[in-house]
Amino acid sequence: MPIIRRYQEVMKILIDITHPAHLHFFRNVAARLESEGHSVKWTGRDKDILVQLVQSYKLEVEMFGEARKGAINMGRELIYRQWRLLKIIREFKPDAILAIAGTYVSLPGKIGGIPTYIFYDTEHATISNMLSYPFSTCTYVPRCYRKSIRWRHERYNGYHEMAYLHPKYFKPDPSILSEVNIMPNEIFSIIRFVGWGASHDMGLTGLTDDNKRIAVEKLNRYGKVFISSEAPLHPDLEPYRLRLDLAKIHNLMAFAAVIFGESATMCSEGAVLGVPGVYIDPVGRGYTDEQENTYGLVFNFHPERQEKAIAKAEEILANYDRKDWHKRRAKLLMDKIDVNELIYQVATEHYRNNRRKQDYC
């Protein structure tokens, strides 16, 4: 009869984050892994509010590289971050590497012989995908991802935003309303402008400056407007800028009546929270298409139709019914998988395979 022995190995996981949303995506799984005794090392780059979020969550993240505009600057950062990551991989010796997009870490992971698992949902990030997909052990994309992928991949029935905003993991705190002088049940809007500086945004544009001002003016007729913006704001719009600990932004979003603007991530976050989104973008995303066509929670508009987008946001506010939007959300949540469980299973696959091999001696 075989002797069963207790298996003592712990895993070492490297997570590379290059955008604020990536931290949210992985933080629940990282906490679970650490609670089980595994070692998690975070690496990151200076992008938007990522440094502030790291500080807010009191995480230890080794930051290097800085997001800058222009092909030459992007190329320099790519080489620098890959060199640093390869060095970290050799020193830390991870059992697995996790990332969203994987632009910087997929090739170092391949060179280091480390299983590297990539999650992504942006079809038109052609350059980033070519630097990542061929070298990853497996790439995981939502089922609604528009394009075919030549390399090893799997499709799953969910969205990135469900990893941190599903009610199993997130309960909005209504006390956030008093921090921005909003009364319970008061209608308000959140507007998001992006900087159009990401590699997948090169050559693309969104709302005109005139229509940014028109959107704020019209939505403000129905209730307060808060602007979150990567790009500099016109002086007329600066008073509307949201001034809040950015780690609390999802608490505020959960009580908004509409999310309007140029961010696919924030509109998808709104959908998971039961908040309608009006999304303006030249190319769109597979997941925002599904959130419109299947669940009626996001409304997609090309920049050529931005006046129509503003009118749609007005229509939502004029006929706002929170119960209706939450019914749509309930259908979405019922249809989708637990994305955190997927990430956890992917992260621990190597560990579980080794454990099965060594449980008997």
List, for residues 172-214, the tens digit of each pLDDT value. 999 999 999 999 999 999 999 986 445 444 445 669 999 999 9
Q: Which range is least confidently modeled, 3-7, 108-112, 323-327?
A: 3-7
Domain with CATH 3.40.50.2000 in the chain: 12-158+337-358, 176-335
- pLDDT tens column, 271-280: 999 999 999 9
Query: pLDDT band at 360, cuts 50/70/90?
Result: very low
State the Cα–Cα distance between residues 270 and 256, nearest whole angstrom.
9
What is the pLDDT, as a whole number, of residue 182?
A: 97
pLDDT exceeds 90 at position 67: no
Average pLDDT of the chain, as a whole number? 90
| The predicted structure's pLDDT at residue 353 | 67
pLDDT on residue 2: 35
Q: Distance (Å, rounded) from C-alpha 57 to C-alpha 28?
A: 12
The 3-state secondary structure of 174-235, one letter per residue: CCHHHHCCCCCCCCEEEEEECCCCCHHHCCCCCCCHHHHHHHHHHHCCCCEEEEEECCCCCC
The DSSP letter of residue 238 is G
Higher pLDDT, 204 or 294: 294
Least confident of 17-21, 72-76, 130-134: 72-76
Work out the pLDDT band at 355, boundaries 50, 70, 90: low
Residue 84 pLDDT exceeds 90: yes
Tell me how far apart the alpha carbons of residues 225 and 219 are, in angstroms, rounded to a whole number: 7
pLDDT confidence tier of residue 73, bands split at 50, 70 and 90: confident
Does domain 12-158+337-358 bear CATH number 3.40.50.2000?
Answer: yes
Q: How many CB atoms lie within 10 A of CB 226?
A: 20
Across 15-31, average pLDDT: 95
Give per-residue pLDDT as tens, 136-150.
999 999 999 999 999
CATH code: domain 176-335 is 3.40.50.2000
Mean pLDDT over residues 32-54, rounded?
A: 91
* Helix ranges (DSSP H) in the chain: 20-35, 50-56, 71-92, 106-112, 126-132, 162-165, 176-179, 209-219, 249-253, 264-273, 286-293, 306-318, 322-335, 339-347, 349-358
